[in-house]
Chain A
Amino acid sequence: MEWIHKRRNRFLSILSLLVVFFFSLFALFPLFALLLASLKPSSELMRFGLNLKLQPELLSLKNYFYLFSEQARLYFEWYKNSLIVTLLYTAISLFLSSMVGYALAIYDFKGKNLILTLVLFVMMIPLEIMMLPLFEEMILFRLIDTYWGVVLPFAVAPFAVFFFRQYAIGLPRELLDAARIDGCSEFGIYLRIMSPLMVPAYGAMAILQAMNSWNNFLWPLVVLRSNEMFTLPIGLAGLLTPYGNNYDILISGSVLAILPIIILFIFFQRYFISGLTLGGVKE
């Protein structure tokens, strides 16, 4: 009996491996294709589309050098804008959202449940619905075509608030009273005692918010108007047209655009996963 069992397990194991391997191939192949395309001359891509022939005699880093040329000057403007928007958004949304989430977890106060309900409610309403009045507000505040216009309306992120609240509920409250007796203010307790305990939550949210902001498309498309202010996704999207694409910048530019996120992922994989799952699924 034992050997049948073993054999069956071996078979299932190989079957499972094949299925998972096939889907991993599906996941990674397009990125490999992009990398390959970035090494091919754009005239070749224009004429024949992307094929998988390696053609080593055609491959070169020319497309990457082109990014640094005068004709592609805007590309690194977009890169800079993306970096600024991402850093600004991540910093502000973490600071504000964590404070709100913390207060909702630690204190008992009148209206707390109402606020928590509102946080969940905001999460449920798609942005698209209020895009037009938000746009009018941005005009009113003179935030059109600015970094702040991209960042400000979403600086208190309901998902992050909820995430921090879930995390802070598990913090040891005995520390609170001890700190109060020592004469610490409520903000002091939050900043100096409780915040350091929330570092894993900050890590997870920092990465998630940075990734979302780096890849964000619809709202920046609405707010940013001039070429020099575009973020990477908006700038790159402008090179796509229904009738043909400006491949010179597009492909090597796309590779460099994913690079920072892939690097973050390699080093902080754990945070990506906890950031995505804790807020949504736990409970």
Chain B
Amino acid sequence: MKNNVSFTRPIQFLLQKGKGVRKGNLLFSKKYAPYLMVSPFIIFFVLFFLYPIISTIHMSFLEIYPGERTFVGLGNYYKLLNPHFYTALYNSTIYTLWTLIILIPVPMVLAVLLNSKITPLRNVFRSALFIPALTSVIVAGVIFRLLFGESESSFANAVITQLGFSPQQWMMHHGTGMFLMVLLASWRWMGVNILYFLAGLQNIPQTLYESAEMDGAGTVTKFFRITLPLLKPVLVYVLTISIYAGFRMFEESYVFWQNHSPGNIGLTITGYLYRQGFENFDLGFGAAIGLVLLLIVLLLNLIQLKFFGVFRKGDE
């Protein structure tokens, strides 16, 4: 505290000096200060959000060569009707489905176990399960490429040989390639989703379980009748961000194939955007891909949120 006093003295001196003009001073005005404080957001919003969004929409109707822009109407959108984009769309969809199938139920069950008093050493496991989330996707890629190396004696091939299968070239085939991407994502995101569900579980009042027990409810009944319904907000949140993350996916594929996978087995929507925009410099086409991506995630999430009745809240 003592330091504080000496630190503020010059400021207090200034304050006394400025008392007469305080009304005109922006820093003192209750009316203008909040605008000053939020101004960074407004500036950044206009410069790095509003303008780029409008520009993307504009660009998507143009054909862009260096120094020359011609209006092509929906031309870039028609160009989307090609097998490469279908592949990208297909891969992104399958990837999203797999991550939803794995990264929602499994973390939810693990969170319930980690929240329950019957599990010993809960805090240790909680930390252990979170640690993969700290790694960058690149480091995760390095690890999984090592474990799933093509050599017959590499870890994954050694394991499946033991189980009686023949060794695989994991990064060369469609099914195994998808498996690698989903595995990498599952490994990195498990801990984060567990955390979300744990936070939700801790908001459920313990008394609900106690009274259910008095009515003779078993573990399973309690899970489906109390835990699951009360976890719904978290569930919807995790579902929303998972749909976003799934369709946006780029890096999980990049670490395996640097955006040039054999037979496009790792091509995703964002990967296609990157290829067209930053490798082929077809900016107009890239912009159109981005907008279609936006449309897909917004539409899917709207349907999903409507299905879970999120919009009905206002009427109640």
Q: Which residues of A contact B (CB under 8 A)?
A: 9, 12-13, 16-17, 19-21, 23-24, 26-28, 30-31, 33-34, 37, 45, 47-52, 96, 99-100, 102-104, 106-107, 109, 112, 115, 118-119, 122, 124-126, 128-137, 152-156, 161, 180, 183-188, 190, 192, 211, 214-215, 217-218, 222, 232-233, 236-237, 240-242, 245, 250-251, 254, 257-258, 261-262, 265, 269, 272-273, 276-277, 280-282
Contact = CB atoms under 8 A, between A and B. Distances in A.
Contacts of A262: 131, 134
Contacts of B116: 16
Contacts of A215: 135-137
Nearest to A152: B48
Given A30-B132, A34-B139, A102-B37, A128 B273 contact: yes
B200 interface: yes
B296 to A, nearest CB: 10
Given A34-B139, A186-B33, 4 more contacts: A21-B125, A48-B153, A49-B155, A184-B15
Contact of B258 (A50, A104, A240): A240
Contacts of A122: 45, 49
Interface in B45-85: 45, 47-49, 51-53, 55-56, 59
B287 A240 contact: no
A153 B53 CA distance: 13
B289 to A, nearest CB: 9
B195 A273 contact: yes
Contacts of A131: 273, 277, 290
A10 to B, nearest CB: 9
Contact of A26 (B44, B146, B187): B187
Contact of A9 (B12, B118, B157): B118
A118 B191 CA distance: 30
B52 A31 contact: no
Contacts of A137: 47-48, 51-52
B144 A30 contact: yes
B100 to A, nearest CB: 17
B298 to A, nearest CB: 8
B45 to A, nearest CB: 6
B199 to A, nearest CB: 4
Interface stretch (B21-29, B204-212, B222-230): B21-29
Contact of B250 (A107, A155, A192, A218): A218
B255 interface: yes
Q: Most B CB atoms within 10 A — which of A112, A154, A185?
A: A185
20 contacts: A13-B118, A20-B110, A20-B125, A26-B187, A30-B140, A33-B155, A34-B143, A45-B149, A49-B155, A52-B155, A104-B38, A118-B41, A129-B291, A133-B52, A152-B48, A155-B40, A236-B138, A237-B254, A237-B255, A254-B143
State the main secondary structure of chain B at its contact with A: helix
Contacts of B237: 280-281
Interface string B249-262: 01100111110111
Given A119-B41, A132-B283, A186-B33, A251 B142 contact: yes
A232 B139 CA distance: 10
B251 A218 contact: yes
A183 B16 contact: yes
Interface in B136-190: 136-147, 149-155, 157-158, 171, 187, 190
A101 to B, nearest CB: 9
Given A125-B53, A183-B19, A27 B192 contact: no
B293 interface: yes
A24 B11 CA distance: 54
A115 B38 contact: yes
A202 B146 CA distance: 38
B199 A281 contact: yes
B294 interface: yes
Nearest to A122: B49
Contacts of B27: 185-188
B270 interface: yes
Given A240-B142, A281-B237, A24 B128 contact: yes
B192 A50 contact: no
A183 B14 CA distance: 10
B219 interface: yes
A185 B28 contact: yes
Contacts of A185: 15, 25, 27-28, 33
A189 B204 CA distance: 37
Contacts of A115: 38, 41-42
Given A126-B294, A192-B8, A242 B258 contact: yes
